[in-house]
C-alpha cells in the first residue's frame, strides 16, 4: 500500500483521547494517518534564531511526525503575515482587515520553499502527497519544481472567496496557478468549488471539462467538494463516557433548571461572536418572559493573539458581554457566561450534551466542526437544537438545523426563541436526520473519498507537466 504523506502548517502530535490539544484539523489528520502508514510533516510551532534545516522525527500512537522549527522572520512574514493577515481575512470576505505587504508574500514563498527542501528527500515514488490548507498553496508547485511526479492533492479548509475579492490580492494569478500543479484540489462545499471555478473561467481564461476537471495555465486539475466530518462514533462515545459525565453534571447543577444556549469557537472574527451576543441581547429585550429562564455559555478560546485584529476582538467581546451582563444581571442570575479557558475534549463533549441550544453562527466558515460535534454529543432521548448559519459550509449538509442569517439579529433571536420552545418530538426528529448525516459523512469517509479521487486522478495520467518549472514570485 502507498504511504500517505500529510503536510500541514502546524503539526500537533496525536494526543491521547480526550486531550485538550487536538483541534478539528489535528483530529482529522491523526485519523487519516492511523489507517495509512505514512508521515505527518510540518512546522513544530517553535521558533529558532536562524533556520537550521534540522528535522525532528518521532512516532506517536502509530503516526510518524516530522517537524522543523522556523526562524522568527519566517513566523512573522509567513504565518502571522501572509497566512493570518492576508489570506485568512481575504478568504473570509474581510477585505477591510486584509493586509497586503510585499514582505509577507516573500516570507510565504520562502517558507513554502523550505517545506519543499525538507520534505522532498523523504518522499518515495509511490507516496501519496496530501497538502493541507491555505498556508501551503504553493507547496505542490515547489515539490514539482524539485522533480516529484507523485500523486499530489491539496485540501482547502477555509472558504474560497468570490472572484471579486480574490482580485484584490496582488499576484492572485500566481496563487491560483499554483493549485494547478496538484492532481486534485478539494473544497468543503460545491459553493467554494464553484467560486474557484468562476475565477478559473473568468480570470484565468480556463475551461471546465465535462468530467469535472478544469484546465488553465496549460494544466489540468480536478476541483471537487469533499465535506469534512468528525469521528462521529468516537465523539458520541466520548460524550457518554464517565470523564464527560463530570462536566455534564457540573453544568446541569449550575443550570438550576434554566435552559442553556451554547457557543464554542476559536476566538476569531469570522465566527460572528459579537453578532451572536447582540442577537442574544435582542432576545432578552424582546422576551421579558425569558429573563432568568435562560443563559448563554460562550466559550471562545484564544488563537493568533499576535495579530492586532484578534487583540481588538478580545477587548470588544469582553466589553460587550460585560455591558449586557451589567444591564440584565440580577444578584442570582447572569445572562452571559463569557469563558476563554481551553477545555479538554471530554469536558467539552459533556458541555455540548448539557446544552439545550447550540449557536453556531459564523459570518463565513469553511465547514465548522462544532456543529457536528454538538450533534454527535446529544442524548438521543432528549437532544438539543442546533441553530446554524447559512454561511457555514456545514449548512449545505445540515438542513435540519434551524438555518439563520447571522447578520440579522432579528433572524437569530427568532431562531433562539423557536429552539428554546421546540417540542420534544420535533427535536428528536431533526436530531435523528442530522445524526444520520454526521455518522455517514464522517472523517473516515472524507479521507477515503479524497484519497480515492487522488489515486484515480493521478492514474488517469492526463496531466502534461513541463519538465522545468520556473521559480514563482510572491513579492507583489
Residue (29 or 148) nearer to ligand GDG, CB = 29
> Which is nearest to 412 in space by CA: 293, 322, 284?
284
Q: How far apart are the first and last CA of the chain?
A: 42
Helix (H/G/I), strand (E/B), else coil: 293: coil
Exposed, middle or buried: residue 270 (CB in 10 Å: 0-12, 13-18, 19+)?
Answer: buried
Residue (284 or 370) nearer to ligand GDG, CB = 370
Residue 126 Cβ, how far from ligand GDG at the closest point, in Å?
A: 27
HSE-CB for 434 with a 13 A CA cutoff:
30
Catalytic residue of the set 74, 92, 133, 157: 157
Torsions phi, psi for 202 (to 5 deg): -90, -30
Helix (H/G/I), strand (E/B), else coil: 64: strand
CB atoms within 10 A of CB 205: 10
Residue 446 Cβ, how far from ligand GDG at the closest point, in Å?
A: 9
The yes-or-no answer on residue 126 being catalytic is no
Residue (128 or 348) nearer to ligand GDG, CB = 348
Residue 425 Cβ, how far from ligand GDG at the closest point, in Å?
A: 29
Given the DSSP bridges, would you call strands 336-339 and 294-301 parallel, antiparallel or unpaired?
A: parallel
Residue (264 or 277) nearer to ligand GDG, CB = 264
The yes-or-no answer on residue 289 being catalytic is no
Residue (228 or 451) nearer to ligand GDG, CB = 228
Residues 6+ apart with CB under 8 A from 23: 12, 266
Please, what's the b/e burial string for 324-359 (b: 16 or more CB within 10 A of its CB; e: otherwise)?
Answer: beeebeeeeeebbebbeeebbbbbbbbbbbbbbbbb
Sign of the four-CA dihedral 168, 171, 173, 174:
negative
Residue 464 Cβ, how far from ligand GDG at the closest point, in Å?
A: 32
Residue 67 Cβ, how far from ligand GDG at the closest point, in Å?
A: 20
Residue 369 Cβ, how far from ligand GDG at the closest point, in Å?
A: 3
Residue 21 Cβ, how far from ligand GDG at the closest point, in Å?
A: 7
Residue 182 Cβ, how far from ligand GDG at the closest point, in Å?
A: 17
Any idea what DSSP says for residue 31? H
Catalytic residue of the set 231, 365, 400, 442: 365
Cα distances (angstroms) measured from residue 125 to each of 12, 54, 147, 226: 26, 23, 11, 26
Complete edge-to-edge strand list for the sheet that includes strand 294-301? 336-339, 294-301, 259-266, 357-360, 385-389, 402-404
Residue (21 or 205) nearer to ligand GDG, CB = 21
> Position of cell 499576484?
171
CA 285 – CA 374 distance, rounded (Å) = 27
Residue (20 or 252) nearer to ligand GDG, CB = 20
> Which is nearest to 251 in space by CA: 387, 384, 135, 140?
384
Residue (67 or 368) nearer to ligand GDG, CB = 368
CA 322 – CA 161 distance, rounded (Å) = 34
CA 69 – CA 92 distance, rounded (Å) = 28
Residue 204 Cβ, how far from ligand GDG at the closest point, in Å?
A: 25
Helices (H) and strands (E) in the chain, counts: 17, 16
Residue (24 or 206) nearer to ligand GDG, CB = 24
Sign of the four-CA dihedral 51, 45, 84, 14:
positive
Contacts to ligand GDG by CB under 6 A: 20, 23-25, 157-158, 228, 264, 266, 299, 301, 342-345, 348, 365-370, 373
Any idea what DSSP says for residue 85? I
Residues carrying an active site annotation: 157, 365
Amino acid at each position: 500500500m502507498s504511504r500517505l504523506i500529510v503536510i500541514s502548517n502546524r503539526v500537533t502530535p496525536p494526543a491521547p483521547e480526550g486531550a485538550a490539544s487536538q483541534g478539528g484539523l489535528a483530529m482529522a489528520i491523526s485519523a487519516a494517518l492511523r489507517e495509512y502508514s505514512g508521515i505527518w510533516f510540518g512546522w513544530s510551532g517553535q521558533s529558532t534564531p536562524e533556520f537550521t534545516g534540522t528535522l525532528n522525527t518521532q512516532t506517536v500512537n502509530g503516526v510518524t511526525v516530522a517537524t522543523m522549527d522556523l526562524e522568527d522572520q519566517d513566523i512573522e512574514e509567513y504565518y502571522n503575515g501572509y497566512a493570518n493577515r492576508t489570506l485568512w481575512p481575504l478568504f473570509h470576505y474581510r477585505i477591510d482587515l486584509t493586509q497586503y505587504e510585499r514582505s509577507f508574500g516573500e516570507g510565504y514563498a520562502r517558507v513554502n520553499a523550505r517545506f519543499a527542501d525538507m520534505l522532498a528527500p523523504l518522499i518515495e515514488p509511490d507516496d501519496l502527497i496530501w497538502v493541507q490548507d491555505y498556508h501551503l498553496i504553493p507547496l505542490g508547485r515547489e515539490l514539482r519544481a524539485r522533480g516529484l511526479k507523485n500523486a499530489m492533492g491539496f485540501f482547502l479548509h477555509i472558504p474560497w472567496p468570490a472572484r471579486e475579492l480574490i482580485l484584490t490580492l496582488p499576484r492572485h494569478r500566481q496563487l491560483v496557478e499554483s493549485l494547478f500543479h496538484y492532481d486534485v484540489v478539494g473544497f468543503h462545499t460545491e459553493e467554494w468549488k464553484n467560486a474557484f471555478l468562476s475565477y478559473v473561467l473568468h480570470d484565468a481564461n480556463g475551461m471546465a471539462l465535462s468530467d469535472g476537471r478544469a484546465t488553465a495555465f496549460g494544466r489540468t486539475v480536478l476541483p471537487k467538494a469533499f465535506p469534512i466530518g468528525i469521528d462521529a462514533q468516537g465523539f458520541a462515545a466520548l460524550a457518554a463516557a464517565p470523564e464527560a459525565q463530570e462536566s455534564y453534571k457540573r453544568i446541569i447543577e449550575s443550570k438550576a433548571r434554566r435552559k442553556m444556549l451554547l457557543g464554542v469557537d476559536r476566538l476569531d472574527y469570522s465566527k460572528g461572536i459579537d453578532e451572536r451576543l447582540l442577537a442574544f441581547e435582542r432576545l432578552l429585550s424582546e422576551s421579558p418572559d425569558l429573563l432568568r429562564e435562560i443563559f448563554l455559555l460562550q466559550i471562545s478560546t484564544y488563537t493568533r493573539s499576535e495579530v492586532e485584529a484578534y487583540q481588538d476582538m478580545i477587548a470588544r467581546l469582553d466589553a460587550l458581554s460585560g455591558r449586557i451582563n451589567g444591564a440584565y444581571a440580577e444578584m442570582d442570575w447572569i445572562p452571559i457566561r463569557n469563558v476563554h479557558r481551553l477545555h479538554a475534549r471530554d469536558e467539552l463533549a459533556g458541555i455540548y450534551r448539557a446544552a439545550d441550544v447550540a449557536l453556531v453562527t459564523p459570518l463565513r466558515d469553511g465547514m465548522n466542526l462544532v456543529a457536528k460535534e454538538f450533534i454527535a454529543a446529544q442524548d438521543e432521548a432528549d437532544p438539543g437544537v442546533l441553530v446554524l448559519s447559512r454561511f457555514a459550509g456545514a449548512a449545505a449538509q445540515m438542513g435540519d438545523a434551524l438555518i439563520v442569517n447571522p447578520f440579522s439579529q432579528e433572524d437569530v433571536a427568532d431562531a433562539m426563541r423557536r429552539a428554546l420552545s421546540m417540542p420534544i418530538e420535533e427535536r428528536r426528529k431533526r436530531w435523528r436526520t442530522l445524526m444520520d448525516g454526521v455518522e455517514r459523512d464522517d472523517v473516515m469517509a472524507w479521507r477515503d473519498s479524497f484519497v480515492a479521487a487522488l489515486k484515480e486522478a493521478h492514474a488517469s495520467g492526463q496531466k502534461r507537466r513541463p519538465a522545468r518549472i520556473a521559480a514563482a514570485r510572491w513579492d507583489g
